[in-house]
Structure 1
Amino acid sequence: MDETTGRLTRIVLEGEPLHRISPTQAADRAQAVMDLQAENQFFPTSRQDLQSILHLSLHEGRLVFDIRDAEDTPVIAVMLALGPFKMLIKDYQMLLESYAGAVAEGREAKIQAIDMGRRGLHNEGAELMIARLEGKVVIDFATARRLFTLVCALHQKL
C-alpha cells in the first residue's frame, strides 16, 4: 500500500455493547480489529494522506465515525443513521446464534452453510457502508467488511 494513502492506525470502540456479547461475537470483534490494524484503506475525502485513529460509537441512533489524527486530535466526525443497517445487523445476530448452536451440536454441514451466509451478510454490510460513506470517507471493501463487524458488536440487539 502506498505510504501517502490514508489509513487507520488504531480503532477505539466507544461505549459498551447494548447487551452482553457472546464468545463468538467477541472473537469476531477482536479479529476485525486485528485485521483492520494490519491492513486497511480509510480516510476522509479531504485528507488522503491522513494516518488516523477512528473512534467508532453509537449515539442516539447514529453511527459515529470520529476520525482523529495521529495525536488523537479531532479531524472530522461523520454520522450515519443506523436505520439502513438494522436489518442486516439483526440477520447477522441471528446467524451468529445459529452458528453457536450448530457448533454445540457438532453439525459441520450446518456450520459451513451458516458461514457462507455470514460472508454474504458481511458483503452486503460492506456495500452499504461504502455507499453511506461515499463522498465523506474513502474506504475499501475489506475495511468496510471489518467495520460492519464492529458495528454489529456495538449494537447487539435492535
Structure 2
Amino acid sequence: MSDEPSGSADGKEDRLVAVTLDEASIERGAPDVEQERAIAVYDLLEDNYFRPLAGPRGPYRLVLSIRENRLVLQVELADGAPVITHILSLNPLRKVVKDYFLICESYFTAIRSAAPAQIEAIDMGRRGVHNEGSRLLIERLEGKIDVDQDTARRLFTLICALHFKG
C-alpha cells in the first residue's frame, strides 16, 4: 500500500468513477442519513486512487453491499464488466466506528457551548480516530485493493455513513 498512486501518468485508470449502494442489503435511512451517504459517495468520487491488484486497469465502478456482517466490495470496470469481489469482515472495524460515532457526538455537543480550545481538542481526537479507521481499512485491503490514505479516509467515512441509523 502506498501513499502515492502508482498508476498511469494521467491518473485516470486507477480510480473509481461510480459507487452504488445495494438497496437490497443496505437499509435506507432517514433523509439526513441518506444525505450523509450521498455526501460520502460524492467526496469519494471527487478524488480517489483505487486499484484492484488483480484484473485489468480501470477506471472502476464499486458496488457496496452488506452480507452477514461483511462489507462486499464488488469492483467492475466502468462498462460494468466484473473485475473482483472482495469480502471484508466488519468486525475489526466495529470498535473504531463506534469510537468515531462517540467522538463525533461529543464534537457536535461541544460546538453548541464549549470553548474553542475544547472544540479543537475534540476535533483533533476525531481526526485521530478517523485516521485509525483509515489505516485499519488499508491493512484489511492490503494485497487485494490498493488505495491511498485520502481514499481510505473517504471510504471509511462512507462505511461509517452506512452504519449510521440517524
| TM-score for both structures, normalised by structure 2 | 0.80
User: Which residue, 100, 119, 122 being the options, matches 2:127?
Assistant: 119
Structure 1 window deviating more from structure 2 (68-77 vs 138-147): it is: 68-77
Name 1:58's counterpart in structure 2.
66
User: Which residue, 156, 159, 163 being the options, matches 1:151?
Assistant: 159
- Within 2, Cα distance between the matches of 1:22 and 1:97? 15
- Within 2, Cα distance between the matches of 1:30 and 1:110? 30
The answer to whether the 8 A contact 1:21-1:156 is kept is no
Name 2:89's counterpart in structure 1.
81
Residues 119 and 154 from structure 1, CA distance in 2 versus in 1: closer, same or farther, beyond 3 angstroms? same
- Superposition misfits of 4+ residues, deviation over 6 angstroms: none
SS in structure 2 at match of 1:54: strand
- Within 2, Cα distance between the matches of 1:111 and 1:78? 38
Residue correspondences, number: 154
The answer to whether the 8 A contact 2:54-2:84 is kept is no
Q: Note the residue ranges of structure 2 that are not aligned, 5 or more in a row.
A: 1-8
Name 1:94's counterpart in structure 2.
102
- Within 1, Cα distance between the matches of 2:128 and 2:107? 14
Write the deviation string for residues 52-79 of structure 1: whole angstroms up to 9, x where unpaired: 1111232211011111111233321100
State whether structure 2 residue 151 is matched by structure 1 residue 140. Answer: no
Structure 1 window deviating more from structure 2 (107-116 vs 51-60): it is: 107-116
How far did 1:4 drift?
5.8
Q: Note the residue ranges of structure 1 that are not aligned, 5 or more in a row.
A: none
How far did 1:34 drift?
2.7
SS in structure 2 at match of 1:43: strand
SS in structure 2 at match of 1:88: helix
Name 2:27's counterpart in structure 1.
16
User: Which residue, 54, 66, 70 being the options, matches 1:46?
Assistant: 54
Write the deviation string for residues 10-31 of structure 1: whole angstroms up to 9, x where unpaired: 12233236x75867x955x444
Name 2:80's counterpart in structure 1.
72
Residues 48 and 113 from structure 1, CA distance in 2 versus in 1: closer, same or farther, beyond 3 angstroms? farther
